[in-house]
Structure 1
Amino acid sequence: MALGGGTFTAMNKIMPGAYINYVSAERADAALSGRGIAALPIELKWGKDGEVFEVEAGNFEAEALYTFGYSPDTEELKPVREVFKHAEKCLFYKLNSGEKASCEISEARYKGTRGNDIKHVVTANVDDTDKFDVITYIGTYKADTQTVGQISELEDNEFVVFKSGAVLNFTAGMNLTGGADGTVTGTEHQEALNLLESYSFNVLGCMSDMDSVKALYSSYCKRMRDTVGVKFQLVVRDYAADYIGTINLKNVVSDGNAKPYALIPWVVGAEAGCAVNKSCDNQTYDGEYAINTDFRQPELQEMIKNGVYVFHKVGNNVNVLSDINSYVSVTAEMNDDFQLNQVIRVLDQIAMDEAAVFNAKYHGKVQNDEDGRIAFWSDCVNIHKQLLKRRAIEEFEETDIVVERGNNKRTVITYDAVQPVCAMNKLYMTICTR
C-alpha cells in the first residue's frame, strides 16, 4: 500500500529515480525536511509578471513596498499578511497581467493599477541650477531622487523604467496613467501551476471560486502526488475532491467586498507551517477577517463526515473544527486514518525525505548489492528514528523497514511500515460518584 508519492503497479520504469511507490523528480529544493513553505497564485495590483517569486515571512515588512507595491499594513496586502501568520516562506505568482502605467518620461516596471499611483516631480537642483532633481513617488512615499543633467543619465529604479529619448521639463507632478490589472482566466492559473512544478512547497492555495479552476488545481495536485511523486496538499474552497491531498474549506467571511475564498491564504499558511508532529485541530484563527461560523452542531457533524474543513465558534474564538482533508471513500486498503492531515504530513515527510536521500547519495553512486542496500536501509531507519524522537510516529522497530533488490539489477524496493501519532481531539469520561 502506498504511503504517498507516485504509485506504480509493475517494476517496469524506464527513467532512473526513487520508486518507493513514489517518484522523485529534480526539484528546486531536493530535500523537504522542513515545513512552512506555501505556494499562492494570487491577483495583485503590482509585482513581477510571468514568474514565481519568493518572499520570506521575516522579510515581508521590509520588502512589501518594493515587491507588492504597498506598505505591509494596507488593505491590499491583507491576503499576504494572512498567509504569513504561520508560513515561513511563500512562493507567489501574480495571476493578472494587465497593462503598465506610463507617462512622458517613464513606464511602470510592472503591470497593474498600482502603477497609476506613481508620479514624478522634476525641479531645479539647488546647488546646480543647470541640473534636474527627478523625484519618484509611489503614493505618498518618496521612493527615489536623482540629480541629472539630462534624462539619459537617469537610472531605472524599483518602480519605473525611464525613457531615454524623452525630454526633462520642470513639473510639480507628472502622474503615470493607463495601468490596468487585467482579467484572470483558467489560462493564467495553468501558467502558474506549470511554473510551480520546479519548486518545493508544502501547501498550495487555489484562489478562485470557479469550478473549472478548482478542478484544474485538484487534478494538478493528484498528478503531482501520485504520478510525479511530489508531496504537497492543496487548499480549495467548496470542492469535494475526495482525495487525501485536497483540503475542502467551507467558510466564507463577512468582510465587505472580500472574495468567497478569502480564508484560503490563512489555511494555506497554517497547514504549511504545521509541524510534522502537530495538528491544526482546534487551532484558533488569528487573522484579520470576520469568519461566518453560523452552523449548528448537526451541520458540523455532517461536514466532518463529508471531509469538510470548517471553522466554528468556541467561546470568543473561531477555531478549526477538525484538521481533515476531503478523502471520504474509505476502503480497507486506505482507512479513515488517511482523512487526517496530520497522518498525511507524516507520510509525505517520509516519502520526500527518503526520495531525497536516495537521489542525493545512492542514485548512480552506490552499488545495488547487499552492502549498498543496507546503507540505504540505515538512512531510512535514521529518518524514522528522528520522527520517533519528535513523537510524530510510534512503536517503530528497525525491522519495520525492508530494503530489497527489485526485478532487475538496478532496482531497489522499500517496504515501510509506520504508525503516525495524532493529536487528541476527543475525550470520553466516566465519572463515578461514591
Structure 2
Amino acid sequence: MALGGGTFTTMNKILPGTYINFVSAPRASAALSDRGIAAMPAEFDWGPEGAVFAVESGEFEKRSLELFGYPYTHEKLKGLRDLFRNIRKGYFYRLNTGGEPAKNDFATALHPGTRGNSLRIVIEAAEASTEETPVYDVSTWMDDTRIDLQTVKTAAQLHDNAFVRFQAEATLAATAGANLTGGTDGAAGDAAYQTFLDQIEPYTFHALGCLSDKPAVKALFTAFTKRMRDESGVKFQTVLHRYGQADYEGVISVENGLTGAADDTSAVWWTTGAQAGCAVNKSLTNRVYDGEFEIDTRYTQAQLEEGIQSGGFLLHRVGDETRVLTDINTFVSATEERSSDFGSNQTIRVLDQIGNDIAALFNTKYNGQVPNDAAGRVSLWNDIVRHHQQLQTLRAIQTFEPENVTVEAGDTKKSVVVTDRVTPVNAMEQLYMVCVVA
C-alpha cells in the first residue's frame, strides 16, 4: 500500500507520508487598475444597431473600415481619431436606428446605413473556369478597396464576410460591378440616449462622452452620472458640452466650439479620451491639444477667469499651441463638507481610483470568502494600506501613514467599517514669487 500524501488543511492525517501545501508568497493584491477606457454614443452610417460594441485602439487603426465603414485616415473618423489618441479601449453605441441595409441581386450589406451604398460586387471568370464548368472570382469592394475575394462555382458556396451577406439562391454571372443600393441611416431620437445608458450601465469605463447639444439629453446624462456615482458606487466622469449648471464633480463641461462653428460639440471627443486616459498621478492642466479640429480659442483674460469660476473646461491659445487652461469639472458650490478641492479633476481621479480599486478588491477577495473576524479585518487593512502606499509611490497622494486607515466590525456580523484619510496631490498651476532686489 502507498504511503499517505497530498495536501492538508489541519494536521490530523492518519497514514504515514508527506503532506505538502504550496502557497503564494504574500504580495499586494490590491493592484492599481489601469485607466484608458471611454464610452460614447454617436450617429454612424455603418455598424451594428441596438448594441454596445467594444473597440481596442489597435483594432481601430487596423479594422476601422470594417468597424466604422471608413479607412483610418478618412475625414469622417476625425472625432474617433481624437478620442483614440488617449484611450486604449472604447465602448460605442449607434444612436440612429431603423435604417435599411443596401442590397443588390447578389448580396445585402451586413449593417444598415448609407455607407453600404459604397459597396459593390464584382464577378469575373476565374482562371480555372471552362465553358462546361464555369468558375467565378467574386470580390467585394468598398469604394476602391477590395475587401474580399472568393472563388466559387455557385452562389451557395459563398461565405458571408465582414461587410455583406450573400444571396445563396442568386445566379452568378460576370459583371464589372453591381452596386449595392437603398441603404439608409435611420433616425436618432432622444429615446436612443436612454437606451444607450441602460445598456452601458454594466460596463466599466473611466469617462463617458455625449455630443448632444440638447439640454434634456445633457440633463439625462448628468442624472445617470449622479446615480451611478452616488448610489451604485461606480466611479467615472461624464464630458458634456456647455453644461456648467451640473455643478457636480462627476460632470465636465467643455466650453469650446470650433472655428467658424461656435456651437459645434466636437471638442467633446478629445476631452473624453484625454480624461479617460489621464493617469491617476497626472493632470490635464496645460496639456497640448493634439487633435485635428480647429478649436475656437478666442477668449479674453476676463472670459477665461469667468469660465474657471463657473466650472468650465477650457482650451486656450498659448503661442502657436492650443492648451488646456485648467483641469476642472463643474463643481463650484463648495461647502464645509465638500471643499473646492472636489472641483479638481486630478483630485477626483485619485478618489475614483481608490473607490473603484477597493470595491474590486473587496468584491473579488473578501465578499463571501473571508471571515469577519480580527484576522480577516487585519487582512483587509493590509491590502488597503498596500494599495495606498502604491498611490503614494506614484505621488498621487501624500503624507499617508498606515494608521490613517482603520477597519472595524460593523453593526452586524457581516459588515465591516473602514475609515480612510487621504491627501490627493495636485500638479502645480500657479507661481507666486517675491523677488527682493538689494
Structure 2: distance between partners of 1:332 and 1:185: 42
1:376-408 deviation per Cα after TM superposition (whole angstroms, max 9, x unaligned):
011010110000000000000111111111111
Q: Which amino acid is the alignment partner of residue 251 of structure 1?
A: N
Structure 2: distance between partners of 1:85 and 1:123: 42
> Aligned to 2:187, what secondary structure does the other structure show?
coil
> Aligned to 2:141, what secondary structure does the other structure show?
strand
Q: Pick from 209, 215, 222: which aligns with 1:211?
A: 215
Tell me how far 1:165 sits from its aligned partner: 2.1
**For structure 1, which segment, 140-149 or 386-395, has the greater mean C-alpha deviation from structure 2 after superposition?**
140-149
1:115 alignment partner in structure 2: 116
Tell me how far 1:32 sits from its aligned partner: 7.2
Instruction: Assess if the C-alpha contact under 8 Å between 1:106 and 1:163 holds in 2.
Output: yes
2:356 alignment partner in structure 1: 352
Structure 1 outlier segments of 4+, above 3 Å = none
Q: Which amino acid is the alignment partner of residue 35 of structure 1?
A: R
2:75 alignment partner in structure 1: 75
1:416 alignment partner in structure 2: 420
> Aligned to 2:128, what secondary structure does the other structure show?
coil
Instruction: Assess if the C-alpha contact under 8 Å between 2:31 and 2:387 holds in 1.
Output: no
Q: Structure 1 residue 383 and structure 2 residue 390: aligned?
A: no
Q: Pick from 205, 208, 220: which aligns with 1:201?
A: 205
Structure 2: distance between partners of 1:104 and 1:212: 44
Q: Pick from 364, 369, 374: which aligns with 2:368?
A: 364
Structure 1: distance between partners of 2:339 and 2:347: 11
Tell me how far 1:255 sits from its aligned partner: 6.1
**For structure 1, which segment, 329-338 or 186-195, has the greater mean C-alpha deviation from structure 2 after superposition?**
186-195
Q: Which amino acid is the alignment partner of residue 63 of structure 2?
A: E
1:232 alignment partner in structure 2: 236
Q: Structure 1 residue 267 and structure 2 residue 268: aligned?
A: no
Structure 2: distance between partners of 1:185 and 1:242: 27
1:7 alignment partner in structure 2: none
Structure 2: distance between partners of 1:344 and 1:288: 28
TM-score, structure 1 as length reference: 0.91
Q: Pick from 137, 140, 146: which aligns with 1:142?
A: 146
Tell me how far 1:66 sits from its aligned partner: 1.1
Tell me how far 1:196 sits from its aligned partner: 1.0
1:106 alignment partner in structure 2: 107
Q: Is there any run of 5+ residues in structure 2 with no aligned partner, and where? A: 1-29
> Aligned to 2:111, what secondary structure does the other structure show?
strand
Tell me how far 1:31 sits from its aligned partner: 8.3
1:162-201 deviation per Cα after TM superposition (whole angstroms, max 9, x unaligned):
1122222221111111111122112211111111112111
1:127 alignment partner in structure 2: 128
Q: Which amino acid is the alignment partner of residue 71 of structure 1?
A: P
Find the structure with the greater CA-based Rg. Answer: 2
Structure 2: distance between partners of 1:32 and 1:331: 30
Structure 1: distance between partners of 2:282 and 2:422: 17
Structure 2: distance between partners of 1:264 and 1:171: 45
Shift of the 278–176 alpha-carbon distance from structure 1 to 2, 3 Å rule, reads: same
Q: Structure 1 residue 253 and structure 2 residue 258: aligned?
A: yes
Tell me how far 1:289 sits from its aligned partner: 0.7
Shift of the 182–31 alpha-carbon distance from structure 1 to 2, 3 Å rule, reads: farther
Structure 2: distance between partners of 1:353 and 1:52: 24
> Aligned to 2:156, what secondary structure does the other structure show?
helix
> Aligned to 2:122, what secondary structure does the other structure show?
strand
2:54 alignment partner in structure 1: 54
Q: Which amino acid is the alignment partner of residue 249 of structure 1?
A: V
Instruction: Assess if the C-alpha contact under 8 Å between 2:33 and 2:353 holds in 1.
Output: yes
2:227 alignment partner in structure 1: 223
Over aligned residues, Cα RMSD in angstroms? 1.5
Q: Which amino acid is the alignment partner of residue 419 of structure 1?
A: T
Count of aligned pairs: 404
Q: Structure 1 residue 66 and structure 2 residue 70: aligned?
A: no
Q: Pick from 271, 296, 321: which aligns with 1:317?
A: 321
Instruction: Assess if the C-alpha contact under 8 Å between 1:31 and 1:356 holds in 2.
Output: no
Structure 2: distance between partners of 1:211 and 1:183: 19
Shift of the 424–299 alpha-carbon distance from structure 1 to 2, 3 Å rule, reads: same
Instruction: Assess if the C-alpha contact under 8 Å between 2:41 and 2:193 holds in 1.
Output: yes
1:272-330 deviation per Cα after TM superposition (whole angstroms, max 9, x unaligned):
11100000001110000111111111111011111010111111111111100001111
1:301 alignment partner in structure 2: 305
Q: Which amino acid is the alignment partner of residue 255 of structure 2?
A: K
1:42-86 deviation per Cα after TM superposition (whole angstroms, max 9, x unaligned):
111111222222222233221111111111000011111000111
Q: Pick from 427, 432, 437: which aligns with 1:428?
A: 432
Shift of the 68–43 alpha-carbon distance from structure 1 to 2, 3 Å rule, reads: same
Where in structure 2 are the equivalents of 1:29-40 lying within 5 Å?
Answer: 33-40=33-40
**For structure 1, which segment, 163-172 or 420-429, has the greater mean C-alpha deviation from structure 2 after superposition?**
163-172
**For structure 1, which segment, 247-256 or 232-241, has the greater mean C-alpha deviation from structure 2 after superposition?**
247-256
Q: Pick from 247, 250, 258: which aligns with 1:242?
A: 247
> Aligned to 1:291, what secondary structure does the other structure show?
coil
Shift of the 148–85 alpha-carbon distance from structure 1 to 2, 3 Å rule, reads: same
**For structure 1, which segment, 297-306 or 167-176, has the greater mean C-alpha deviation from structure 2 after superposition?**
167-176
Structure 2: distance between partners of 1:327 and 1:225: 14
Q: Which has the higher contact order (CA 8 A, sep 6+)?
A: 1
TM-score, structure 2 as length reference: 0.90
1:222-271 deviation per Cα after TM superposition (whole angstroms, max 9, x unaligned):
11111111100000001121000000110011267x97111111001111
2:23 alignment partner in structure 1: none
Structure 1: distance between partners of 2:183 and 2:322: 39
Instruction: Assess if the C-alpha contact under 8 Å between 2:32 and 2:387 holds in 1.
Output: no
Q: Which amino acid is the alignment partner of residue 108 of structure 2?
A: E
Identity across the alignment (%) = 47
Q: Which amino acid is the alignment partner of residue 257 of structure 2?
A: V
**For structure 1, which segment, 308-317 or 40-49, has the greater mean C-alpha deviation from structure 2 after superposition?**
40-49
Instruction: Assess if the C-alpha contact under 8 Å between 1:31 and 1:352 holds in 2.
Output: no
Instruction: Assess if the C-alpha contact under 8 Å between 1:32 and 1:352 holds in 2.
Output: no
Tell me how far 1:347 sits from its aligned partner: 0.3
Q: Which amino acid is the alignment partner of residue 63 of structure 1?
A: R
